[in-house]
Structures are given as structure tokens and as C-alpha cells.
Amino acid sequence: MRDWSAFEIGYDVPALPGMALSDVQTPALVVDLDALERNLDRMRTHAAAAGMRLRAHAKSHKSADIAALQIGRGGACGICCQKVSEAEAMVRAGIGDILVTNEVRDPVKLDRLARLAERARIVVCVDDPENVGPLSRAARRHGVTVEALVEIDCGAGRCGIRPGAPAVGLAQAIAAAEGLRFAGLQAYHGPAQHIADPAERAATIAAAADVTARTVSLLWDAGLACDIVGGAGTGSFPFEARSGVYNELQCGSYVFMDADYERIRAEDGGRVGGFENALFVLTSVMSRPRPDRAVCDAGLKALAVDSGLPRVFGREGVRYDGASDEHGVLAIDGGDVAIDERIRLVPGHCDPTCNLHDWFVALRGETVETLWPVTARGKVF
């Protein structure tokens, strides 16, 4: 337990445990613990029903506390990180099993990655045979084994070697390299996550699963087994889960949901995965200049708007209409808000929103239960 007596509201933290929601200093990143726990339970159930491992993506929250909950209550086998610095923050905080779902090429970063393998299981993605030698040398220098997944481009058009023979050649090079262990395939399809139509999303993942299955089979013929066939995000995971090809799900946003993920539908017409809003930016009304307009204190420095403006939560007739650096304009159309009133906003995109804050204020109902640091905030290097 953290000793909160040394923390001063305003200077250090936006709130302290035991405080009422109405006293939280805004804008603040708040988590509804009951909703978060239900999301953890839902994802655990989905993964178990599919007979798959969950390796939750920690880039969404960058919090070692939430990562620990995902591994504990949420049943995850470990976490994913996107950056070496993110992985460093998580290893320091005691997380023991990390997949860096990215290519690492800079020699200093390779060295930092290998050093982490002295303290945790480290898996990394590789999409180029030229990367194998430097990665192997870094592992040998530290006397560790670094596990490597061959990342294939399964249709996403980002990183990844071509599936089939090129991927097999790369896997063989990894398997032959000292200090490395070939651990399987990374086959994540990013653009599929936000395809609105579930049938189109299903077809996109079916095509990705197809090229992935062919590569798994070619690897098997070459004597190489895939321990991990990883991919999937919050939007597409039911399709990877039913593919019979993937065995690890890398969902991240599921733990919070965001306004962008609310817009896409599951096959049953409901929300993807049944996940509910657990993350909010709490904001206060600071000006009421006209009957049809209010201004709140959460703008671009409190909210990422790359995937659209936030949604006002639980209030009819009030809409977030525009963001500038430190202001949010609320259009009042049938609803009402009072000066200094606290309002919950559902961020358009959860991941970059979390990276704007130092603390999660964790609420149980309307009371602050605890605070969690955004452990890997700014760890983008």
C-alpha cells in the first residue's frame, strides 16, 4: 500500500483515497472499478471459452497496477508492450512475461531489451533476417534467451514479412541463432479492428487467419512449431478466437472501451465483447456564456481526439462539440449543466488519452478508492 500522507492534492495528485468524486480536481482520468472488473471478467470468459491465452496489451493503459489485475483477476498469461521503455517500466514494476509487439532495430534498444530478459520472459517481433544477428548478439552479451516471433503481414499493411516461404526462412534463421528461441508468429491486423460492419470484419480476419494458417503449416513441415500464434484486438477478437489458428489474444482497449469502439457493432448487434465504459475524463464546467453553450476544463491536453471527440456520459441533451488546448465546448440542446458541475467524458481513443495523465483515479461508485500511476506515461522510446 502506498503511503498517501506525503501526497498533496494539486501539487502531486488530483485526488486522494476516500475523497468524494465531486471533490476530485479536474480534468482527471478516472476509472470505474466495478466496470473495469466486469470487463476483466468478460474477457477472461471469452478467452477461456475459446481455449485461448489472453496476453493483454498494456499500451492502452501503461499502468503496472492494471497489468497486474489483468494477469490476476483477468486471467492473462502476461502482457504486450509496444515500446522497449514501456516494457522496462513494467519489468521494474514486477511484470514477468512480456511480448514487445514491435520490431526493435536500434542497437541500444536491442541491448536494453536483452537486459530485460535477465529479469523476465521477453518475446519480441522480427520481420527481417538482418535483425537476427544483432538481436542474437545482444542476447549473448547478456547471457539470456530472447524469444522471437516472426511478424507476418497478414493484410494489415504495416510491419511484417510476407507470409509463406519468406516467413519460414526468417524463422529458420531465428531458430539457428544462439541466444534466440523461435516462439511462433505475430499476425495482428490493426485496420480490421475498426471496420464497422461485423461481416466485413469477419471476412478480413478470415483472410488473415488463412495466410497465417498456411504459414504455420509450412513451418510445421520445416520442423518448427509455433508456441504462440498471436494477434487480435478488441474489435476483431471473436474472429481470431474462432479461427482455430490463433492461440493468444492481444486485446487492450477491452479493459476501458472508448467512444470509437462503441461505434462498431458485434455480430449480435451489441457492443463488441459486451464491454462497458470503465474509463472517463472527469471535467468541470467553468463557464456558461450562453444558454446553448457551456465550457468545461478538458481539452486537447486532457483528451486524445484523433478518433473523434469524446462522448458525454450519462447526460441527455449535452454534447462535447469542440476541443482547444485547455477548453472543451459543450453544446447544450435540451439538457443543462451547472457551473463547477463534474461531468464524465468517454474519450474517443483510450490509449493516447491515458498517456496525457500522470494518475488514474480509481472510483468505487462515487468514492475514490485508490490512485494508480500511469507507470509508463511518456515511455515512447
d(CA 310, CA 322): 9
Q: Give the Cα separation of 174 and 331 in Å (integer).
A: 56
Q: Which is nearer to ligand PLP, 252 or 310 (CB)?
A: 252
Q: How far is the CB of 140 from ligand PLP (least distance, A)?
A: 27
Q: Are strands 28-32 and 53-57 parallel, antiparallel or unpaired?
A: unpaired
| Positive or negative torsion for Cα 19, 23, 29, 34 | positive
**Helix H or strand E segment including 31:** strand 28-32
Nearer to ligand PLP, 69 or 330 (CB): 69
- Omega before 166 within 30 of 0, i.e. cis: no
Instruction: Report the residue number, 57 or 83, with the smaller CB distance to ligand PLP.
Output: 57
Identify what 280 binds: ligand PLP, Mn ion, none; CB under 5 to 8 Å per kind: none
Taking the complex as a whole, the smallest distance from the CB of residue 226 to ligand PLP amounts, in Å, to 17
Which residue number, 16 or 255, has a Cβ lying nearer to ligand PLP?
A: 255
User: Where along the sequence are the contacts to ligand PLP (CB under 6 A)?
Assistant: 57, 60, 80, 101, 188, 190, 193, 233-235, 250-254
Q: Which does 250 bind (CB under 5 to 8 A by kind): ligand PLP, Mn ion, none?
A: ligand PLP
Residue with the CB atom nearest ligand PLP in the bound state: 233
Question: What is the nearest approach in angstroms of ligand PLP to the Cβ of residue 368?
Answer: 26
Task: Give the binding range for Mn ion (CB under 5 A) out of 36-44, 336-344, 349-357, 366-374.
Answer: 349-357
Q: Which is nearer to ligand PLP, 19 or 146 (CB)?
A: 146
Give the residue closest to Mn ion by C-beta: 351
Coil, strand or helix: which one is 103? strand
Residue 21's closest CA among 288, 373, 341, 301?
A: 341
- Residue (190 or 308) nearer to ligand PLP, CB: 190
What's the closest the beta carbon of residue 193 comes to ligand PLP, in angstroms? Answer: 5
Strands (E), 51-135: 53-57, 78-81, 97-103, 121-126
Cell output for 27: 480534468
Q: In 48-164, which ranges are E strands?
A: 53-57, 78-81, 97-103, 121-126, 146-151
Least separation in angstroms between CB 232 and ligand PLP: 7
CB-nearer residue toward Mn ion: 297 or 351? 351
Q: What CA–CA distances, in Å, run from 244 to 229, 266, 298, 334?
A: 10, 20, 44, 50
351 binds Mn ion (CB under 5 A): yes
Residue 19 · residue 367 · CB < 8 Å: yes
Smallest gap from residue 242 Cβ to Mn ion (A): 23
- 258 makes contact with Mn ion (CB under 5 A): no
By CB under 5 A, the count of residues binding Mn ion is: 1
Please state whether 16 falls in left (phi above 0), alpha (psi between -120 and 50) or beta: beta
From the list ligand PLP, Mn ion, none, partner contacted by residue 57 (C-beta under 5 to 8 A by kind): ligand PLP
Query: What phi and psi values does residue 175 have, to the nearest 5 degrees?
Result: -60, -30
> Which residues in 95-124 contact Mn ion (CB under 5 A)?
none
Q: Which residues is 283 bridged to in the sheet?
A: 343
The least CB distance from residue 188 to ligand PLP, in Å, is 4
Among positions 63-102, residues that touch Mn ion (CB under 5 A) are none
What is the smallest separation between the CB atom of 339 and ligand PLP, expressed in angstroms? 36
Comparison of 233 and 310: residue with beta carbon closer to ligand PLP: 233
CB 149 within 8 A of CB 99: yes
Q: Does 32 bind Mn ion (CB under 5 A)?
A: no
List residues binding Mn ion (CB under 5 A).
Answer: 351
